Amino acid sequence: MLNKLAFAGIKSRLKDYVVLFSGLVMSSAIFYMFEALATNQSFIKNNTSVSGASFIFQLGAVLLTIITLVYIFYANSFLMSMRRHDYGMFMMLGAKQRKIGQLILLETVVIGVIASVIGILVGWLLTGTLGNFMMSVVIGSRLKHFSAFYLPAVVTTVGLYLGLFLIAGVVNWLSLTKTQVLQLLKGDQQPNRPVLKPVLQVVQVIGGLILLAVGYYCMAHVQTIGLFAILIALVTIVSGTYFLFNAIFIWLVLLLKRTSWATKGLNTFTLSQLQFRIRNYTKMLSVVSILFALALGAITVGIGFHRQIDLMANVNSPYTMAIPDATTVTQKRVDQLKLATKATYQQKETKTTVYYNAAELKTTPLQRVTTTLAELQKQHRSNVTVHYGTMSTTQLQKNPVDLELLQSGAQQTKIAKVVSAAQFARIKGTAHKLLVFRVANLKADQQALKTIQKGENLAAGTVLPGGYGMLVLSTAIYGGLEFMGLFLGIAFLAMLASCLMFKILSGASSDKQRYNMLNKLGTRGGILRRSINREVGVLFTLPGIVGVIHVLFGLQLFKLLMINPYDQIWIPFTIFILLYIIYYVITVRLYERIVLPEIQINN
């Protein structure tokens, strides 16, 4: 009987649960996608370009798990707050605390299983459609042995999320045992009415700003401080965010109520609505602002990595390819390309050294990239202009590293040496010819270059020197990071939106009486809607502003991986903010349906 009563309560609040399910489902769906792409060995072995991205997907799965763990605990605190009154009633009717604890554990696990199963189905669909398409774009060809459904990934996803919900259920159980029955029954009816304490508020503001400054400094100087800086930044930024919200938000609401602006229209009512649950909102807004920063940062960095692919290929080497002993067919294919430069150099190879003729290098000087990192960072556009210069034989004799970078195969382990024409003629070794060239547009000739690479049976990636080799390598690595960043951003956005929506909608039932009273007093429907727009707008805007600031400072961390992480950031910012506004509009409409009376009295 007790179980029937409990699940009847869940059914009555099904709409509230659906809001939370959206975040859980999206999290498990994207986790399944990462696992299906990263652990399918047949898929990885038959798509060599994916092997570099496999580790990235596993890293994304770990990051998603950590954030999901926080989200699950936070979501469960919402679920517990909804059911506290029911649990208190069960205990008043004679139910034992042990039985209630078992019921809580069962409810939590059932919710987790349902969300995981639906998430896997959604993930299966995403992997087979959008995931398949995006991965094909990443590796630049059709996927081989690709399977949207992968049983080990299903088992891993169900096992992980079931474990997370078991932990959350045990925590809920222990939390209930420490709560008095009266508090369970009356907890939701106890408003938090903060008292303004100027000294404490100032201390919290200063402390919060100091913590944020330390976190931002660590992210900007991670190269000198080390990886420990990331941990420091994580702790200080989260703590600083909470202190700022706890101080500034409370202070702002209370001070606004003392101004003449509060007396206009329903401003006093709106501020009172925010003040009623002020303490709970500060905790929630702190979490949402961090999730906002993670979501926006992931999407911004993901899109940034897409631009990084061509950039890294263009600035990596002055030549597109360096081909040893090119065949006649390959030479014809090269001549058909639109070339910016082309040269052939004689080589003589011994056991430890590859020799070059100084006379040839003097007649046709070896080129090098002259564009500096500082110049690249100033170029805020996708098609970066790269400048090239030449190297003298004297420079190459002193430092032949530029020649060594053009050597492939077994030559990569051997040193390069530039000698005079007479010395070169006397050296006894295996003779080779090194063909180097640079195309005018690497991206436009990518398919033709791939044909040349296959025809010469050259291994792509790090083994193949030149810009095309870097293009293949960076497509796998940066393309994988782009894929991970976009889907992590979507998952984090779903989580933060469901947190924010649920927190607002969970209090709508108690707000309904107040809006009914205003309606009976003759308040026009338009004014009521304007009040709702402002109230919900504040709760969406504050974490959004803080999240944007976190991202602007946090992008400093990616200077180690990206030449200019701030290049064209308005694109991901615009996309993300538009998605965020959509969630705001949905929340407002759902809230209005709950609190606004069906029959409105207009004067």
Q: Read out DSSP for 279-328? A: HHHHHHHHHHHHHHHHHHHHHHHHHHHHHHHHHHHHHH-S-SEEEET--H
Amino acid found at 251:
W
Residue 288 has pLDDT above 80, yes or no: yes
pTM of the model: 0.75
Q: Are 385 and 446 in contact (CB under 8 A)?
A: no
In this predicted structure, what is the pLDDT of residue 460?
45
Residue 453 has pLDDT above 70, yes or no: yes
Number of alpha carbons in the 13 Å side-chain half-sphere of residue 431:
7
Least confident of 202-211, 248-257, 379-388: 379-388
Domain positions in the chain are 1-190, 195-317+466-603, 318-464
Q: What DSSP character marks residue 264?
A: S
pLDDT band at 142 (very low <50, low <70, confident <90, very high): low
Phi-psi region of 178 (alpha: psi -120 to 50; beta: other; left: phi over 0): alpha
In this predicted structure, what is the pLDDT of residue 445?
83
Between 197 and 468, the higher pLDDT residue? 468
- Contacts of residue 262, defined as CB under 8 A and 6 or more positions apart, other chains included, come to 256, 268, 271
Residue 555 has pLDDT above 80, yes or no: yes
Give 556-578 pLDDT, tens digit per residue: 888 777 777 887 788 888 888 89
In this predicted structure, what is the pLDDT of residue 540?
87
Give 494-536 pLDDT, tens digit per residue: 878 877 777 777 666 667 777 777 777 777 777 778 878 887 8
Strands 321-324 and 430-439: antiparallel
pLDDT mean across residues, the chain: 76
Q: Residue 424: name the closest of 366, 361, 363 by CA.
A: 361
Between 121 and 472, the higher pLDDT residue? 121
Q: H or E stretch including 432?
A: strand 430-439
Least confident of 149-158, 262-271, 288-297: 262-271
Tell me the mean pLDDT in the region 106-128. Answer: 81
Look at the alpha carbons of 30, 33, 35, 37 in this order and tell me if their dihedral is positive or negative.
Answer: negative
Neighbour-count burial of 264, counting CB atoms closer than 10 A to its CB (0-12 exposed, 13-18 middle, 19+ buried)? exposed
Q: Are 43 and 147 in contact (CB under 8 A)?
A: yes
Q: Residue 576: name the closest of 363, 293, 326 by CA.
A: 293
Residue 82 has pLDDT above 70, yes or no: no
Tell me the mean pLDDT in the region 299-310. Answer: 78
Place of tokens 């800086």: 229
Q: Are 484 and 59 in contact (CB under 8 A)?
A: yes
Give 397-429 pLDDT, tens digit per residue: 888 888 888 888 778 788 889 888 889 888 888
**Cα–Cα distance, 122 to 106 (Å, whole number):** 24
Look at the alpha carbons of 197, 199, 200, 204 in this order and tell me if their dihedral is positive or negative.
Answer: positive
Measured CA to CA in angstroms, residue 8 lies from 13, 40, 359 at distances of 9, 42, 89
Strands 321-324 and 415-419: unpaired
Tell me the mean pLDDT in the region 369-397. Answer: 74
Between 147 and 125, the higher pLDDT residue? 125
Q: Residue 416: name the closest of 391, 439, 437 by CA.
A: 391
Give 169-228 pLDDT, tens digit per residue: 777 777 666 666 555 555 555 555 555 567 777 788 888 889 989 888 888 887 787 777
Residue 381 has pLDDT above 60, yes or no: no
Strands 366-369 and 321-324: unpaired
pLDDT band at 591 (very low <50, low <70, confident <90, very high): confident
Least confident of 1-10, 172-181, 309-318: 1-10
The token duo for 157 is: 């996803």
pLDDT band at 261 (very low <50, low <70, confident <90, very high): low
Tell me the mean pLDDT in the region 29-52. Answer: 67
Amino acid found at 272:
S
What angle (nearest 5°) sits at the alpha carbon of residue 231, between those of residues 229 and 237? Answer: 95
Residue 265 phi, psi (nearest 5): 60, -135
